[in-house]
Amino acid sequence: MVVRVIRNVGFRTVLCLLSVVCCLSEVHAESRLKRFWSKADSLLTTRYYRTSYDTNYVVRPEGKLTLKLKGNQTGNSLRARGIVDDVHFKSHLSTSHKSTISIAGTYRGLSAAYSINPAKLRGFYDDYELNFNFYASRFCIDASYQESSSLSGDMTFEDETLRMEQGEADMKVFNITGYYVFNHRRYSVSAAYNQSYIQRRSAGSWLAGLSYQGGSIKTSDKRKEQHPEDHDVRIYVGHVGIGGGYGYNLVLGKKWLLNLTLLPTFVVYNRNKLTINDESQHAGRMKFNMLLNERAAVVYNFSSRYFVGLTGVATNSLFVDDAVTVHQNKWVAHAFVGVRLWK
C-alpha cells in the first residue's frame, strides 16, 4: 500500500514533503534552544543584578561575557623536622609541578574553564588534581583535591640521608576554605580573582572563615614490591579550623588592582590515625595546629575591555608539638589575558 501511494504521489513530491518535515523539525529544535537560552539568560541576569554593591566602589563591566586565556601551575610540598625516640630527623618532600593551559569564560558572573595539560598528554604526568573557586559578594569558597604518586624528596635521620623516589608513596589531600565578607558592598573578591566585577576605589574587609584539611599518605604498591622488608605505613589526617582574617583591594591610577588576603584558622577538631603493618598506633593532637589560607592578585586594565593579571592561592598547614614541626604548602598560580564582549 505504501509503495502504491508513493507511485501515485510521485517520488519528487515525497522528497519535497520529507524536506519540509526536516526543515520544520530544525526550526522547532532551534526555537526550543532559543527559548531555553532566553530563560537561562534571564535567570543568570536576575541573579547577577540581584547582588547589591556600592557603585562608588564596585561596578559591573559593560560586557556580558568575559573570555580569558590562562597559564596555570600548581604544587604541593611537605616539610617535617624534630626528634622521635632520641633520633633527629628532617624531611622535604614535594610533588611534581602541574602546568596547564586553559580557556575560561565568565557570563553574568558564572565562570567555567577547560584546561589542557601538555605533560599529561605526553605521558609525563600521572597525578590528578581538581581546583574549585566560588566568589560571590558575601560568601567565597576555595577548594582543591589532589591524588599524587609523584611525591619525592630527601629524608635525613641523624647523619643518614634516604631518598624517596616518585611512585614509592601515594598521597591524597583535600582542602576547602569558606569565608564570609563583612564589607561586601564595597569590597569585591570577584574583581580580583575572576574579573566579573570592577573595583573602582580601594576598599578592604574583615573575613570570618571555616577550613578543613583531610588526606592520607601511604606506602605504595611499588615500594612494597621493591622493599618487602619495609613497614607498610599509612597516615590519615583530618582537621577543622575556625578563624578570621582580612582582605584588601588597592586601586592605583584606575588601571591597577592589587589584592592581598590573609585568613588564618585555628584547628578546633582533628582526627589523626597512624597504621603500621595494619596495626593502629597512637597519633594524638599536636599542641599547635593552624590552617592558613593566603591569596594575592595583580590585575592591569588596558581599557574597559582588555586586561591582564596574575593570581595565586595557597593553603598552608602548620603543626607543632614539643619535638616535632610539620608544614605543608599547597599552592596554585594563574597568569592570564582577558577580553570583555557583548555590551
As a three-state string, the secondary structure of 50-118 is HCCCCCCCEECCCCCEEEEEEEEEEEEEEEEEEEECCEEEEEEEECCCEEEEEEEEEECCEEEEEEECH
Number of H helices, E strands in the chain: 5, 19
Q: Which of 6-10, 71-75, 283-287 has the lowest mean pLDDT?
A: 6-10
Which one has a higher pLDDT value, 305 or 183?
A: 183
**Single pTM value for the model:** 0.79
3-state DSSP call for residue 185? coil
Question: Under a CB-based contact definition with an 8 Å cutoff, are residues 188 and 124 in contact?
Answer: no
The one-letter code for the residue type at 33 is L
Q: Report the C-alpha gap between 197 and 170 in whole angstroms.
A: 40
Instruction: Give the tens place of pLDDT for each residue, 330-339.
Output: 899 999 999 9
Which one has a higher pLDDT value, 197 or 276?
A: 197
Q: Report the C-alpha gap between 186 and 188 in whole angstroms.
A: 7
Q: Give the per-residue pLDDT at 298.
A: 97
Q: Give the per-residue pLDDT at 216.
A: 83
Instruction: Give the tens place of pLDDT for each residue, 62-86.
Output: 878 889 999 999 888 888 887 766 7
Read off the pLDDT of each residue in 309-317 and give the average, rounded to a whole number: 92
pLDDT band at 9 (very low <50, low <70, confident <90, very high): very low
Q: Give the per-residue pLDDT at 300.
A: 96
Q: Give the per-residue pLDDT at 25.
A: 53
Q: Give the number of other CB atoms < 10 A from CB of residue 50.
A: 8
Instruction: Give the tens place of pLDDT for each residue, 38-56.
Output: 565 556 566 566 677 889 9
Q: Give the per-residue pLDDT at 294.
A: 93
3-state DSSP call for residue 17? helix
Selection from 234, 215, 80, 217 nearest residue 149 by Cα: 217
Q: Which of 15-24, 55-64, 299-308 has the highest mean pLDDT?
A: 299-308
Backbone φ/ψ region at 36: left (φ over 0), alpha (ψ -120 to 50), beta: alpha
Read off the pLDDT of each residue in 300-304 and give the average, rounded to a whole number: 90
Q: Write the DSSP symbol of residue 326.
A: E
Q: Is the pLDDT of residue 165 over 90?
A: no
Which one has a higher pLDDT value, 11 or 142?
A: 142
Q: Give the per-residue pLDDT at 4.
A: 44
Q: Is the pLDDT of residue 296 over 90?
A: yes
Read off the pLDDT of each residue in 5-19 and give the average, rounded to a whole number: 50
Q: Give the per-residue pLDDT at 13.
A: 57
Q: Is the pLDDT of residue 15 over 60?
A: no
Read off the pLDDT of each residue in 253-279 and give the average, rounded to a whole number: 84
Q: Give the per-residue pLDDT at 252.
A: 94
pLDDT band at 89 (very low <50, low <70, confident <90, very high): confident
Question: Under a CB-based contact definition with an 8 Å cutoff, are residues 234 and 216 in contact?
Answer: yes
Read off the pLDDT of each residue in 321-342 and give the average, rounded to a whole number: 85
* Dihedral sign, Cα of residue 64, residue 65, residue 70, residue 76: positive
pLDDT band at 164 (very low <50, low <70, confident <90, very high): confident
Q: Is the pLDDT of residue 5 over 60?
A: no
